[in-house]
Amino acid sequence: MDIPVEISHGVTFAEVPVKELDASNAGDLKAAMTPILERSAKVVLDLRQMQFVDSSGLGAILSCLRQAAARSGDLKLCSMSRQVRTAFELVRMHRVFDIFETRDDAMHAFNS
């Protein structure tokens, strides 16, 4: 999986490049995120393209958070669609992530 990355004000923005994150590509996301999380302690995962996530996809995103935490970093989320938000709420994952409307909001949260 080829993840577009941008760095701004010390925060790395990574955009999930698929509409559907499920068992078929959740492993790819984890693999692609590992080097990003190794390089940066402040990462924002931008979910603007995602319209669907299943339990494997949720597991992959949670795994990214744990990787970040293990390196004393943090992973925040932004630009989540209503459908994806519903899936997060379903499993109570919205309680373990900081979730923001926009990239700017997430960046300010890191830098405030």
Tell me: does residue 7 bind another protein (CB under 8 A). Answer: no
Stretch that binds another protein, among 10-18, 41-49, 87-95, 101-109 (CB under 8 A): 87-95
Sheet strands (E) in 40-109: 42-46, 52-53, 74-78, 98-100
DSSP state of 101: S
* Beta-carbon count within 10 A of 6 CB: 12
Tell me: does residue 8 bind another protein (CB under 8 A). Answer: no
Q: What is the CA radius of gyration of the chain?
A: 13
Tell me: does residue 31 bind another protein (CB under 8 A). Answer: no
Joined together, the tokens standing for residue 102 give 């926009």
Place of tokens 């923005």: 13
Contact mark string toward another protein, 38..77, x via CB under 8 A: ----------------xxx-xx--x---------------
Tell me: does residue 90 bind another protein (CB under 8 A). Answer: yes
User: Phi/psi of residue 72, each to 5°?
Assistant: 60, 25
Of the candidates 91, 101, 102, 108, which one interacts with another protein according to CB under 8 A? 91
Which residues of the chain form contacts with another protein (CB under 8 A)? 22-24, 54-56, 58-59, 62, 86-87, 89-93, 95-98
